[in-house]
Amino acid sequence: MEVINEMKMTVDPRSVNEGFCRVAVAAFASQLDPTVEEISDLKTAVSEAVTNCIVHAYKVKKGKIYITAALTADNFVIVKVRDRGVGIADVKKAREPLFTTGGEDRSGLGFSVMECFSDKLRVSSKEGKGTVVTIYKKIQGKCFHEP
C-alpha cells in the first residue's frame, strides 16, 4: 500500500488523552472524505486501542503511547497504536471475547470491538517490551490525490 500522507503523535497514558487521540486521528482521516459511519467506526477502534494502553500496558512503570496514522492511495487509513508496556503473554487468548486481565470492572471486549469496527486488525506483542495494534479501515470516499 502506497502511503500518501502520515502523521505521528505521542501522548501520556492518561484517560483524558483517549478522546484527544480518537479526534486527532479522525480529523487526519477526514482528508479521504469518510462517511459519518466510517469516521465513527475508526474513532471507536482507536478509542479501544488507546484505552487498552492506558488500562493494561503501564501498570507498574510510566511510559508513552505512540500513534501513527497513514493514508494510502487506495483509501485505507492505517493506524498503529504502540506502547512499551508489560506486553501480552498470549495474544491469541487476549483476543478471545470476554478475556481480560483488568479485573472485574473490565469487559474483555476491547479486541472484539476493534475487529468489529475495522476492516483488518493486527496485534503483535512481547512480554516486557510492549504491544502494537494496527487498525486498517477502508474509506469509500473520494480517492486522495494531491493537486
Q: Which residues are catalytic?
A: 48, 52, 106
- Grid coordinates representing 87 are 506486553
- Grid coordinates representing 143 are 480517492
Q: Does residue 14 sit in helix, strand or coil?
A: coil
- CA–CA distance, 8 with 91 (Å, rounded to integer): 25
- CA–CA distance, 70 with 2 (Å, rounded to integer): 10
> Are 104 and 42 spatial neighbours (Cβ–Cβ below 8 Å)?
no
Q: Does residue 37 sit in helix, strand or coil?
A: helix
Smallest Cα–Cα separation from 84: which of 20, 14, 17, 132?
A: 132
> What's 91-102 look like in SS3?
HHHHCCCCCCCC
